[in-house]
Amino acid sequence: MEPVRSQRKLIVNDVVSTLPLYRSAPALEVRLEEFELFALDRLRVLKGISDALSRGRKPEEMEKLAIDLWKTNMRHPQASEVINKDIISHFVLRLVYCRTEDLRKWFLSMETALFRYRFKREKQEAQRALMAEFDLPYKAVSSSEFESVKEKLVLVSRSLGQSSPTADDIFFKVPFEEVPELVAGRRVFISKGHAYIAMSQVVSLVATQFRSHLSRALILTNRKWTTTIAEQEKDRLTPIVEALSSSYLGPDYSQPKEFAQISLKDIEDVAKSSFPLCMRHLFEKLREDHHLKHGGRMQLGLFLKGVGLKLDDALAFWKAEFSRKVGAERFDKEYSYGIRHNYGREGKRTDYTPYSCQKIISSTPGVGDHHGCPYRNFSEENLRAALNKMGVTGRAVGDVMDKVRNRHYQLACTLTFEAVHGSSCDAGINHPNQYFSDSQKIMQSKNQSAA
Amino acid sequence: MTGDEVSKGSDDMMIDEYEQKQGNVVPDGFNSHYLKVYYGKLFPYADIFKWMSYGNDGKHPVCDQSYFSRREFSFTLDNEVYLRFQSFNSMSELENSVKEKCPVKIDIGPVYSVDPSKRHAYAQSGDNVFTPVERELIFDIDMSDYDDVRYCCSGADVCLECWPLMTIAVKVIDTSLRDDFGFSHILWVYSGRRGVHCWVCDGKARRLTNEQRAAIADYFRVYKGNENSHKKVSFTGLALHPFLARSYTEVLMDFFERKLLLSQEIFSTEERYEKILDMIPDPDQSITSELRGKWQEKRRTANSKDDINVVRWEQLKNMLQSGKHKVQGLRRCVEEIVFSFTYPRLDMEVSKHMNHLLKAPFCVHPKTGRVCVPIDPNRCEEFDPTAVPTLSNLLEQLNIGGLRAEVDNEWDRTSLGKSIRFFRSSFLQPLLKSCKEEMESSYNAKLQQSKNSFSW
C-alpha cells in the first residue's frame, strides 16, 4: 500500500491544498528561536478563536475571524516556509498542551475549530482529496437512490431553512456513528443506520475524524513527553514548553484565595452583593424549594467551594436546606456523599474545579432544573425581572437585553456586573468565581475607604 | 391441596397465616419475606444470564469466557446499603448472591475492560485502564417529567388517563430506533411505577461511545427549558425534520386529538387554556384576545353536544392555520402545542454515559410491589400498568398451585409466565441467534485473514 499512499499525497499538493493533516511529526530542522516564535504565533490564533467563541460570536463571523487571525499571524517572509511554520507550530503546541486533561481538551477544541474553518475555505476538489486522506467509509449516493429519498432530503433542508437539494447536488451515505454532531442537531436524514450528508456537511465528518486522530495523538505525545522527552530536553525545549503553557489559560479557581473565604453566616449577604445571576438564581431556588436537582447542586456547590466555603460549612449549609424537604437522615444517606465527592474526599478523589462560563452556558437544563446560564435560558420577561431584583434598572437593562438578543451572554453578565457595582470590568466575565472575587475586591475597597 | 402441605419442612417459604382459612390470599405489600420467595422461585436468573452473556457462554472458540464476569451489577439492600461493582463468574454465582442478599433493587451497569471486583489493581489512565467497553443504549422515560402537561395525576402517581403518554413514547422512540438508526434488538420494560425503560442491545449499540449516545439522545430531544423559559418547544424552519414529521402524523396528532385532549381536559378551565394561549406568538394580542373572548363566554352555544375541549381546539387550529395573521413563528404553532403535550421526554443523562446504571428487568418496585415486566412495543396501546402482577399477586398464584418440590419454571404457573415467555420469544432468542451469527462471521473473517497472511 505504501507507494499508493505517497502518490495520493502528491495529488493533494498539486491541488494546492495548504491544509496539512499533521499526521506525523515533520523531519525538519527547526531553529530554537523559531520553535518558540512559531508556537506563539499559532497560540495567538487559537487564543483569538477561544475568546471569540466564549463571547458568543455567530458561526459566520467566526469563520472570517479565524481566517483573518490565521493570515495575520501565520505569515512567513518566504512563501515556501509558510506550510512548515504551520506544521512546526502545531507540533510544538502538541508538546505544550498534551500534559493535562484540561489542556488537551482546550487544544483539541481550538485546533478542530481552526481546521474546520480552514477546510470550509478550500475548493471542492481539495476537499474531496482531503476526505480521501481520512479513509472515510462514505459512498456517493447514486441518482436512483437520490430519487427515492429526495422527499426526505428536501424536508431536512427546509427544516434547516436552507435551499432544497437538486439532482446535481452530491450526497454521501455514511454510518450515522461517523457524524454525531449532524445527528444530534437533526441536520441529516437517517435511515436504517445511514446518514445522508450533503457536501457542505462533509466538513463535520472530516472535523470529527481530525479531532479523534488528534485526541489519540495527544495521549501518545503525553506519554512520550513524560517518559523520555521532558528529561532529555530539560536544558533546551522543556523550559520553553513549560513557559508556553502557563501563558494563556486563566486561573481555574480550584485553590480559593484567602481573602475570599466565606463562612455560613456571611452567605446570605454575600449572595446578594457578589454572586453572579446564575448562582443567585440557584441560591434563591434552594432557599425556596429546599432542594436542587443534580445539575444545580454541582454548579452551585463547586462555585461555593471556589469561593472558599469549607467542606464542613458546605455540608451544614446543604443539610440545613435539604433536611427541610427530605429530612436529615435522607440528606446524610443520599446527598452528603455527593458534596464530599465534589471536595475530593470520595471515590477517585478528584478535586473538581468550579465551572467556567463556557461550561455553564453550554449546559442543557431540563424540567425542574435551575442551572445553566440565565442570560441564555430565561425568557425575556423573567430575565428582566431577575435583573430588576439585582438592582439593575432603566437603560442598563436595555443594554443587557441587547447583548442577550445577540447571544453575547458573557457580555450581558459583564454589563450587569458593571451596573451593580458602578464600576467597569474591562476583562469581561469568564468565570462565576471571577465575578465573585472581582465583586468582593470592590466591596472591600469600598469598606476600606469608608473606614 | 393447600392445607396440609403448609406445615411441612419448608414452611418458612409460606408467609400467609390466614392461608388455611381464607384460601390463598396474600396481603398486599413489599417486604423481605415476599422478596425471598420471589427470588427463590420466580426471578428468571437463566434468562438474565443468557442475555448478559450475549452468546459468550457457549463453547465456540470465539466465545469470551470473561465477558459475563466483566459486567457490573449493583444491589440496593433493605437497610439502604448500596453495593456497587458486583460481578459474577457464572449464573449460579449471580443466583446465589441475589438469594443470599435479597436486594431491594438490582441495577445493571456496563461491561468493563476488566472484572469490576479487580478494578483497584488498574490505573485511571494510560494503557491498563478500568473503563467501560460495552453497554446497551438505554433510555429512561419518567411520567413525572410530564407534570406540567398532565392534570389527572402528578408526581409518583400514574393512571390510565395519563399512561398514553408512555405509549406515545414507546411508539415514537421504538420506530425511530428501528427505521432511522437500524437497530433491531430492543427491549422495553415497565419501570414498576411511573415510567418505561428501553434497552437497545445490538452489538453496534453496545459499542457506541458516549459522544454517539449523546448524539442519539439529542436527536430525540425536542422539549427544552423549564419553568424559567416560556417556550419549551420551538420549531423554526419551513418544515419539520422527517423524523418529527412522521412522529407527528403517525402518532402524536392522533393521540392528542383522540385521547389526551379529552382525558386531560386541556381547554376546560381558564388556567389551562391560558397556558396554551401563552404558547402562541402574538405580539399584538390579536389572536389570543379573540380566542379568549370566545372562551370566556359562559353560555354554551347551540352545538353544545361537542366536548368543550374539542370545540376550542378546532377554533384554535382554524385561527392559527387560516393564514389570516401574518405573525412570525405562527407557522408551526399547532405542531408546537401538540408536541408540548405529547412528545417523549427522555432523561438525557441516563443515555449519555456508558457507566450509568439502570434497574434490571424483573425486579420488583418497592413502592408499588409491581414487577418490572417487558412491554411489547407492537401492542403497547394495550399495556395496562394497573394490571401488572404484583409481588403479592404472584405469591397468591404460587399458593394456589400448592407447595411442590423444587420445580423448574415455577413462574409458568403464575401471571409472570406470560412476561417471561414474551421476553424469550420476541427478544432473547432473536438476540442470541444474531450474536451467534456475528461470532461465527467474525471467526470466519479471522480465519480468512490468517490464511491470507500465510500467502506471503
**What are the DSSP calls for B418-446, one per residue?**
HHHHHIIIIIIHHHHHHHHHHHHHHHHHH
What is the arithmetic mean of pLDDT over B424-452? 92
CB contact under 8 A, B145 and A374: no
> In terms of Cα–Cα distance, which of A393, A394, A415 is closest to A403?
A415
Name the least confident of A40-49, A231-240, A303-312, B71-80: A231-240
DSSP string of A426-446, one letter each residue: TT----HHHHHHHHHHHHHHH
Q: Is A378 on the interface with B (CB under 8 A)?
A: yes
Nearest-neighbour CA in chain A from B260: distance (Å)? 21
Q: Name which of B181, B242, B243 is nearest A176 (Cβ-Cβ).
A: B181
Which strand ranges, in their side-by-side order, compose the sheet holding A194-198? A139-140, A171-175, A194-198, A189-191
Name the least confident of A269-278, B316-325, B397-406: B397-406
CB contact under 8 A, B80 and A370: no
At B230 the pLDDT is: 63
What does each C-alpha distance from B408 to B24, B46, B58, B98 come to in angstroms?
22, 11, 22, 18
CB contact under 8 A, B242 and A189: yes
What is the arithmetic mean of pLDDT over A186-215? 90
What does each C-alpha distance from B317 to B276, B277, B284, B324, B336 come to in angstroms?
12, 12, 19, 12, 12
Q: What residue has cell string 437533526? A: A186
| Most confident among A37-46, A293-302, B117-126 (mean pLDDT) | A293-302
Nearest-neighbour CA in chain B from A401: distance (Å)? 15
Band of the pLDDT at B228, cuts 50, 70, 90? low
Res. A132: pLDDT tops 90: no
Nearest-neighbour CA in chain A from B103: distance (Å)? 17
Q: Residue A373: its chain B contacts at CB < 8 A?
A: none
Average pLDDT, chain B: 88
Q: Name which of A177, A184, A192 is nearest B208 (Cβ-Cβ).
A: A177
Q: Residue A327: its chain B contacts at CB < 8 A?
A: none
3-state class percentages of chain B: helix first, strand second, coil last, to nearest 5: 50, 10, 40
Band of the pLDDT at B255, cuts 50, 70, 90? very high
What is the arithmetic mean of pLDDT over B117-135? 81
Contact B357, B109 (CB under 8 A): yes
Amino acid residing at A388:
N
Give the orientation angle of helix A380-390 with respect to helix A409-421, to 10 degrees. 30
Q: Is A220 on the interface with B (CB under 8 A)?
A: no
Chain B residue nearest residue A160, CA to CA: B237
At A141 the pLDDT is: 87
Cβ-based interface (< 8 Å): residues of B facing A: 80, 124, 126, 145, 147-148, 179-183, 204, 208, 211-212, 214-216, 218-219, 223-231, 235-245, 345, 348-349
Band of the pLDDT at B446, cuts 50, 70, 90? confident
**Close Cβ partners of A369 (under 8 Å, ≥ 6 residues apart):** A293, A295, A296, B226
CB contact under 8 A, A379 and B229: yes
CB contact under 8 A, A155 and B242: yes
Band of the pLDDT at A120, cuts 50, 70, 90? confident
Q: Which of B141, B209, B219 to mutate to test the interface with A (most CBs of A within 10 A)?
A: B219
Write out the H or E segment, with its range, that includes residue A387: helix A380-390
DSSP string of A270-320, one letter each residue: HHHHH--HHHHHHHHHHHHHS---HHHHHHHHHHHHHHT--HHHHHHHHHH
What is the arithmetic mean of pLDDT over A334-353? 82
What is the arithmetic mean of pLDDT over A64-83? 89
Nearest-neighbour CA in chain B from A207: distance (Å)? 14
Contact A130, A19 (CB under 8 A): yes
Amino acid residing at B181:
F
Within 10 A of A153 (CB to CB), how many other CB atoms are there?
Answer: 20
At A111 the pLDDT is: 96
Q: What residue has cell string 470465539? A: B62
User: Around A396, how many Cα atoms within 13 Å sit in the side-chain half-sphere?
Assistant: 18
Distance (Å, whole) CA A418 – CA A206: 42
Amino acid residing at B93:
E
CATH number of B32-153+180-222+346-448, picked from 1.10.10.60, 1.10.287.110, 3.40.50.2300, 3.90.920.10 = 3.90.920.10
Size of interface A-B (CB pairs under 8 A): 105
Distance (Å, whole) CA B220 – CA B223: 9
Q: Which of A155, A227, A285 to mutate to test the interface with B (most CBs of B within 10 A)?
A: A155
pLDDT digit string, tens, across residues B287-314:
888 888 888 875 455 456 678 899 999 9
Name the least confident of A201-215, A232-246, B177-191: A232-246
At B24 the pLDDT is: 63
Distance (Å, whole) CA A109 – CA A50: 9
Q: Please give the share of chain B, as a percent, with pLDDT higher than 90.
A: 62
Name the least confident of A388-402, B35-49, B361-375: A388-402
Q: Is A224 on the interface with B (CB under 8 A)?
A: no
* Domain ranges across chain B: 32-153+180-222+346-448, 242-342
CB contact under 8 A, B219 and A381: no
At B10 the pLDDT is: 43
What's phi and psi for B110, nearest 5 deg? -85, 175
Res. B13: pLDDT tops 50: no
Distance (Å, whole) CA B287 – CA A122: 49
Max Cα separation, chain A?
83
Band of the pLDDT at A247, cuts 50, 70, 90? low
- What single DSSP character describes residue B413? G
- The response to whether A357 counts as a known ligand-binding position is yes
CB contact under 8 A, A186 and B226: no
Chain B residue nearest residue A175, CA to CA: B181
Distance (Å, whole) CA B130 – CA B150: 44
Write out the H or E segment, with its range, that includes residue A85: helix A82-97
Name the least confident of A6-20, A104-118, B321-335, B401-415: A6-20
User: What letters, b where the CB count within 10 A reaches 16 and e where it falls short, cover A343-353?
Assistant: beeeeeeeeeb
What's phi and psi for B187, nearest 5 deg? -115, 125
Q: Residue B225: its chain A contacts at CB < 8 A?
A: 365-366, 377
Distance (Å, whole) CA B174 – CA B180: 10
Distance (Å, whole) CA A169 – CA A166: 6
| Most confident among A162-176, A260-274, A356-370, B100-114 (mean pLDDT) | B100-114
**Close Cβ partners of B73 (under 8 Å, ≥ 6 residues apart):** B86, B87, B88, B94, B106, B107, B108, B109, B360
What is the arithmetic mean of pLDDT over B141-161? 90
- The response to whether A98 counts as a known ligand-binding position is no
At A249 the pLDDT is: 46
> In terms of Cα–Cα distance, which of A211, A212, A217 is closest to A24?
A217
What is the arithmetic mean of pLDDT over A258-269? 72
Res. B420: pLDDT tops 50: yes
At A53 the pLDDT is: 81
> In terms of Cα–Cα distance, which of B95, B101, B25, B190 is closest to B408?
B95
At B96 the pLDDT is: 97
At B17 the pLDDT is: 47
The 3-state DSSP class for residue B160 equals coil
Res. B18: pLDDT tops 70: no
Band of the pLDDT at B8, cuts 50, 70, 90? very low
Write out the H or E segment, with its range, that includes residue A12: helix A2-14
Res. A43: pLDDT tops 80: yes
Nearest-neighbour CA in chain A from B171: distance (Å)? 17
β-strand A139-140 against B374-375: which pairing, if any? unpaired
Contact A295, A372 (CB under 8 A): yes
CB contact under 8 A, A333 and B80: yes
Contact A387, A397 (CB under 8 A): yes
The 3-state DSSP class for residue B106 equals strand
At B402 the pLDDT is: 66
Q: Which of residues 156-195 of A touch B (CB under 8 A)?
A: 156, 158-161, 176-177, 180-181, 183-186, 189-194
At A133 the pLDDT is: 82
Name the least confident of A249-253, B8-12, B199-203: B8-12
Contact B199, B173 (CB under 8 A): no
Instruction: Name the residues of B annotated as catalytic.
Output: 72, 140, 142
| Most confident among A329-333, A421-425, B170-174 (mean pLDDT) | B170-174
> In terms of Cα–Cα distance, which of A433, A54, A105, A413 is closest to A253?
A433
Please indicate whether residue A255 or residue A271 has the higher confidence score (pLDDT).
A271
Q: In angstroms, how far is the first alpha carbon of chain B from the final one?
A: 75
Band of the pLDDT at B454, cuts 50, 70, 90? low
CA dihedral A356, A361, A362, A363 (to 10 degrees): 90
Find the angle CA(A330)-CA(A334)-CA(A340) to the nearest 5 degrees: 125
At B427 the pLDDT is: 98
Name the least confident of A155-159, B242-246, B299-303: B299-303
**Close Cβ partners of A160 (under 8 Å, ≥ 6 residues apart):** A187, B237
Res. B79: pLDDT tops 50: yes
Nearest-neighbour CA in chain B from A15: distance (Å)? 34
Q: Residue B229: its chain A contacts at CB < 8 A?
A: 377-379, 382
B390 burial level (CB within 10 Å; 0-12, 13-18, 19+)? buried
At B299 the pLDDT is: 47
What is the arithmetic mean of pLDDT over A326-346? 87
Band of the pLDDT at A6, cuts 50, 70, 90? very low
- The response to whether A413 counts as a known ligand-binding position is yes
Band of the pLDDT at B23, cuts 50, 70, 90? low
What does each C-alpha distance from A19 to A37, A82, A90, A115, A301 come to in angstroms?
21, 11, 12, 8, 44
> In terms of Cα–Cα distance, which of A346, A330, A333, A337 is closest to A297?
A337
Band of the pLDDT at B364, cuts 50, 70, 90? very high
Chain B residue nearest residue A223, CA to CA: B126
CB contact under 8 A, A180 and B124: no
Please indicate whether residue A246 or residue B296 has the higher confidence score (pLDDT).
B296
What does each C-alpha distance from B393 to B197, B388, B396, B399, B421 come to in angstroms?
23, 9, 5, 10, 18
